[in-house]
Amino acid sequence: MSTDVHFEIYAKKNRKAGWYLFQALPSRSEALAIAKAQLVAMPKGSVRVTKESYDDTQNTFLTVTIYEEGEERHIRKTRADNKMEPPCLTPDDLYAVHARRTLGRALAPWLRQNRVCALELLHRSDLAEKLSAAGHDRQHAVQKVAIAQAGALECSVQHIVRRLTELADAATDQLRRAKQKNRTLDFNKRGFAKTLAALEKYKEPGFALSTALAARMSDLENWGDKISFLASCVSDAIVECAKDNTGLVVLDAFLADITALPHALNSCAGGEENGDRLDRITDILCGKPPESSSKSARLLAIAISSGKLPETQSALVTRLFRELRGPRRLYPDRFQDEVALNRSLANRLVKLPEALAPPDQLNEAFIIRSSRLLESNSIERLLSTKKTPGEQILTLISFEQSMVGEQNKQKLAAFLHATIAAHKTERWFCKGGGNTFQRLSVSAQAQKRVLAGNFCEEDKHSLSTSLDRLCHEAIKQSKAFEQIDGQNIAPIQKAICYLKLPDQGLLTNGQCAHEASRRAMKLLRTCGAREAMSNDQSGNFKELSDLLQRAKTRAA
């Protein structure tokens, strides 16, 4: 038995939909996390994770289900007499963008080990022969692709394995013959422009130019050098533009293939954390050279700013969407920085053309990204950094504007309810340190921000009521109103003090404001207050009238 093991995630959107291979990964924990996240995104769907172990004695994979959840179990139908052919039948089919992406995923370990992309493999006979000699690596890739295609075509895996093996042999032979028949081109030492000029005598200029670039890139040691070389050639391709834009098309294809490889793009973008990398990748996508970045990142951003590299932009957008939908946090230990980055990414991505970044996909991606921030352990870690329950409540409310999706806002409201209802919160508001009305003002401020936010109406009402109830209980236990009653001032001045409390944001609207108004009106009905108002001895009649009018407006 071989030690080669990978994990495949199958998904089904609903009962009427068909099963499809969502992703294949080497990590068990990552596969399970992605499967569970996918199930959250598809409430009516189903997911299944299988462990695939390659048996080199029988030349096949052994499948074991390790996770299955959803409304319907995974059932793969296979007909023994079904001889459906795979999508790629000839070596030329392998040069299509979707085929290259499949090659990049299936041969990812081998490509990474040899520091090449799929297009380099398809245009260098020495690489094709090297892969053919490493039979185990090629066979493993064939097996992975065959299992996925056999499930989609409902035919036997052995049939697809045989066809893909024949296709790989034919592609290697075609590359060998192309070199013998002088269909390939050597890169001109004088530069890309001279190389473009030499394409006139070739019947397949795109293939000839690709072989020249692949051969030239064999001398470059790392991904940054390759990206810098290709990006620097874009300006020459624009100046020496042919009728069919051969130079730009070929450069775009190579850059797209390289940037589609996660490790290659990470090497170009740099950054210690996932959030730093996504920030720089977004800048590159928008054609803005990232600050404090590598030379390759700056040159790639300048090349993309020309608007002539649609495939490369598409590859970058695909990477961004995959990361935004993925389970990994952008800044695991920096909650507020991640919220700020989410907002920054959204502001930049919405400015892209809709064809490149569709609004519905952007909205879906940021809904999923917002849900990552609202995981229980993340919220608990965030609240543990705040000194008082009042700070915790205001911090949670401040993130509402950064949350996308109604479900996420409801989940945030649930955390707020739990924090407001906590015993330590009530204890702090009632008996915490400092001035009583300063603590009460926190509840008033929180209520105001909740009502001005975008919570659903039901959550707005319940949160506002909870904050008002909390404030009223704190007033009762701290005897805040009794402190005003005990002051040695005129009744009319006490009434003004009561009316100013909600007006200055020291009390919540509702039960607390009503109680303050009731006490003020009781004082104003006393003989001393009536006499002062009739004579206007205090000089505060106009102020009192304005306060009473605002109190009446709040009550309405």
Indicate whether 421 and 511 sit together in one domain: no
Place of tokens 């939908």: 325
Indicate whether 472 and 503 sit together in one domain: no
Domain boundary among 373, 392, 411: 373
CA–CA dist 388, 226 (Å, integer):
53
Neighbouring residues of 485: CB distance < 8 A, sequence distance ≥ 6: 494, 519
Domain boundary among 18, 50, 70: 70
Please choose, from the candidates 474, 547, 461, the residue with its C-alpha nearest in 3D space to the C-alpha of residue 504. Answer: 547
Place of tokens 């790989």: 168
pLDDT more than 90, % of the chain: 15
For residue 154, being part of any structural domain is answered with no
For residue 54, being part of any structural domain is answered with yes
Indicate whether 378 and 313 sit together in one domain: no
Check: CB of residue 236 under 8 Å from CB of residue 247: yes
Place of tokens 């109830």: 469
Instruction: Return the amino acid letter for 188.
Output: N
For residue 119, being part of any structural domain is answered with no
SS3 content of the chain, % helix, strand, coil (to 5): 65, 5, 30
Give the H or E element holding residue 499: helix 491-503
For residue 99, being part of any structural domain is answered with no
CA–CA dist 450, 464 (Å, integer):
7
Count: domains in the chain: 4
Please choose, from the candidates 328, 317, 322, the residue with its C-alpha nearest in 3D space to the C-alpha of residue 284. Answer: 317
Q: CA angle 152-153-157, nearest 5°? A: 95
Token code pair at residue 379: 């919220």
Instruction: Give pLDDT tens digits along the chain (556 positions).
Output: 455 788 888 888 887 777 888 888 888 888 899 988 888 888 888 898 888 886 665 556 678 888 888 876 544 454 555 566 777 788 888 888 888 888 888 888 888 888 999 899 999 888 888 888 877 888 888 888 888 777 666 677 787 788 888 888 888 888 888 877 777 888 878 888 888 888 888 888 888 898 989 989 988 888 999 999 999 998 888 887 655 688 899 999 999 999 998 889 988 988 888 889 999 999 999 989 888 778 999 999 999 998 889 999 999 999 999 888 888 888 888 888 888 899 999 999 999 888 888 888 888 888 888 888 888 888 888 888 888 888 989 989 888 888 888 888 999 999 999 999 999 988 888 887 778 888 888 898 999 999 888 888 999 999 999 998 988 888 888 888 888 788 777 777 788 887 888 878 888 888 888 888 888 888 877 776 676 666 655 556 666 777 777 766 765 5
For residue 91, being part of any structural domain is answered with no
Residues β-bridged to residue 69: 47
Residues β-bridged to residue 24: 8
For residue 368, being part of any structural domain is answered with yes
CA–CA dist 211, 180 (Å, integer):
13
Domain of residue 534, residue span: 484-555
Indicate whether 287 and 399 sit together in one domain: no
Residues β-bridged to residue 10: 21, 48
Indicate whether 507 and 415 sit together in one domain: no
Q: Label residue 115 left, alpha or beta by phi (over 0 means left) and psi (-120 to 50 means alpha).
A: left
Indicate whether 366 and 407 sit together in one domain: no
Indicate whether 395 and 253 sit together in one domain: no
For residue 464, being part of any structural domain is answered with yes
CA–CA dist 408, 374 (Å, integer):
7
pTM as predicted: 0.72
Indicate whether 398 and 462 sit together in one domain: yes
Question: In what order do the strands lie in the sheet containing 20-25?
Answer: 20-25, 5-12, 46-55, 60-70
CA–CA dist 291, 496 (Å, integer):
56
Indicate whether 378 and 363 sit together in one domain: no
Indicate whether 328 and 412 sit together in one domain: no
Please choose, from the candidates 314, 180, 334, 321, the residue with its C-alpha nearest in 3D space to the C-alpha of residue 255. Answer: 314
CA–CA dist 497, 499 (Å, integer):
6
For residue 145, being part of any structural domain is answered with no
DSSP, collapsed to helix, strand or coil, labels residue 27 as: coil
Please choose, from the candidates 61, 87, 79, the residue with its C-alpha nearest in 3D space to the C-alpha of residue 155. Answer: 79
Domain boundary among 26, 44, 70: 70
Indicate whether 453 and 494 sit together in one domain: no
Indicate whether 466 and 379 sit together in one domain: yes
CA–CA dist 9, 27 (Å, integer):
11
User: DSSP state, 107?
Assistant: T
Token code pair at residue 318: 């695909």
